[in-house]
């Protein structure tokens, strides 16, 4: 352990009872639907944003009737695909009308289909070094294809997918970075500010429609891509420095592209992406005017003591197998539990001692996935930080969090021309 490293606290801020308990949704698909997912699905909020309750309820009732409780099973994943394909065909029919009403209706159908496929590929996928699950990967490829259909209809700021050359690739890194790009219509005449959006453990490029619309409404572009060890990311997840090279390549492309005002670039990292956002705030502080680390795990998150109970907290499925694969340990969960903190902790590796750009930390104080202590300890290292924590809220501080993020982003963007 590094001389200034932190041992786990004797009591977590979320409280001993919350830390020790196993939440009821872990007992099977019926409990998952009835105690955790049904109500957010009714409201079309995470992880059901862009979706519709009428699409999901029959799928989950079928899963319950079939006693399909393993989210990693092919039967679970395949249960969502027929309804998604039906919605895709409805979208194709609406798009063929050729008018504005048809395009809007088609986009809604496509987004509903893509949402079904998001839940189908839960809890986690990666293609590095190999595809982790061919059935979930099929759902992922279908999700992207359908989402691209929706994005092509979004005038005047359609979705474009760019394969950025990974010009700083090294070691096992692959040679191209798939990113989603949307820019305001004014970007052709004047370079626009932009937000780099780093996605999470299970939410990827096609899962951020509303955030990108928020950016565009403010005249900002969006550049969205996955973090190491997830989905299509080409960076070696076992190499702690691979995200630095990833950002180097993205910045090089953005500079050469010409549509972006490179003096007004922000970064927002979501959940597992929050870790990389904190890192970027330090390693790329001269290229970013502000960073939001939303639900970030930075040090204690990697501790065996924390992870010993995290599988029973609010993640919908088992968390540690996904984390082990995501950080390059494959299916060796024990090796991840024993070695991840020393290798990846931003405290133990000295990153937090560096100066940073402006950094906003957002989370709920009862986050059971990334402990709030991991945001709090940043105030004791490096440059001054800013934060908004939500008392009693779980991971990410939803639903209140975004109302604090956007005003802060506006203030930071307006501080630089």
Residues 6+ apart with CB under 8 A from 306: 8, 12, 300, 371
Instruction: Indicate if 155 belongs to the active site.
Output: no
Instruction: Indicate if 67 belongs to the active site.
Output: no
Secondary structure of residue 163 in the 3-state scheme: strand
- How far apart, in Å, do the first and last CA atoms of the chain sit? 43
Residue 73 burial (CB count, 10 A): 14
Among residues 49, 367, 374, 375, the one annotated as catalytic is 367
Among residues 157, 249, 271, 356, the one annotated as catalytic is 271
Among residues 26, 284, 299, 395, the one annotated as catalytic is 395
Nearest CA among 75, 40, 74 for reference residue 57: 40
- Residue 44 and residue 108 in contact, taking contact as beta carbons nearer than 8 Å: no
> Which DSSP category does 126 fall into?
B
Instruction: Indicate if 157 belongs to the active site.
Output: no
Environment class of 196 (CB within 10 Å of its CB; exposed 0-12, middle 13-18, buried 19+)? buried
Angle (nearest 5°) at CA 271 between 362 and 311: 115
Environment class of 245 (CB within 10 Å of its CB; exposed 0-12, middle 13-18, buried 19+)? buried
- Residue 197 and residue 36 in contact, taking contact as beta carbons nearer than 8 Å: no
Nearest CA among 138, 264, 279, 140 for reference residue 203: 140
- Residue 176 and residue 167 in contact, taking contact as beta carbons nearer than 8 Å: no
Positions annotated as catalytic residues are 271, 367, 395
């Amino acid at each position: 352990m590094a001389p200034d490293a932190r041992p786990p606290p004797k009591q977590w801020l979320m409280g001993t009872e919350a830390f020790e308990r196993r939440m009821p949704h872990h007992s099977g698909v019926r409990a998952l639907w009835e105690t955790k997912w049904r109500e957010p699905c009714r409201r079309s909020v995470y992880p059901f944003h862009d979706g519709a309750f009428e699409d999901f309820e029959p799928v989950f009732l079928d899963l319950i009737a079939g006693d399909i409780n393993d989210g990693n099973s092919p039967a679970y994943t395949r249960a969502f695909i027929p309804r998604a394909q039906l919605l895709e065909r409805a979208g194709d029919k609406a798009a063929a009308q050729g008018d504005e009403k048809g395009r809007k209706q088609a986009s809604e159908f496509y987004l509903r289909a893509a949402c079904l496929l998001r839940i189908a590929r839960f809890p986690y996928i990666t293609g590095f070094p190999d595809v982790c699950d061919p059935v979930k990967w099929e759902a992922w490829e279908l999700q992207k294809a359908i989402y691209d259909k929706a994005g092509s209809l979004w005038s005047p700021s359609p979705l474009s997918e760019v394969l950025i050359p990974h010009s700083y690739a090294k070691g096992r890194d692959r040679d191209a970075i798939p990113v989603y790009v949307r820019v305001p219509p004014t970007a052709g005449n004047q370079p626009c500010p932009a937000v780099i959006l780093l996605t999470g453990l299970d939410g990827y490029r096609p899962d951020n429609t509303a955030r990108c619309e928020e950016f565009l409404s403010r005249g900002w572009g969006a550049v969205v891509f996955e973090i190491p060890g997830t989905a299509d990311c080409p960076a070696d997840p076992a190499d702690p420095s691979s995200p630095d090279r990833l950002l180097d390549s993205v910045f090089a492309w953005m500079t050469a592209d010409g549509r972006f005002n490179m003096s007004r670039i922000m970064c927002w990292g979501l959940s597992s992406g929050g870790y990389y956002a904190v890192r970027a705030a330090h390693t790329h502080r001269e290229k970013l005017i502000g960073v939001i680390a939303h639900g970030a795990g930075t040090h204690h998150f990697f501790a065996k003591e924390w992870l010993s109970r995290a599988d029973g907290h609010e993640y919908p499925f088992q968390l540690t197998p996904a984390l082990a694969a995501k950080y390059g340990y494959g299916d060796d969960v024990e090796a991840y539990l024993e070695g991840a903190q020393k290798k990846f902790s931003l405290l133990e590796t000295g990153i937090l001692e560096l100066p940073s750009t402006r950094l906003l930390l957002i989370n709920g104080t009862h986050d059971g996935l990334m402990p709030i202590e991991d945001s709090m300890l940043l105030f004791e290292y490096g440059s001054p930080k800013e934060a908004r924590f939500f008392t009693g809220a779980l991971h990410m501080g939803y639903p209140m969090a975004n109302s604090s993020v956007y005003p802060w982003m506006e203030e930071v963007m307006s501080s630089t021309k």
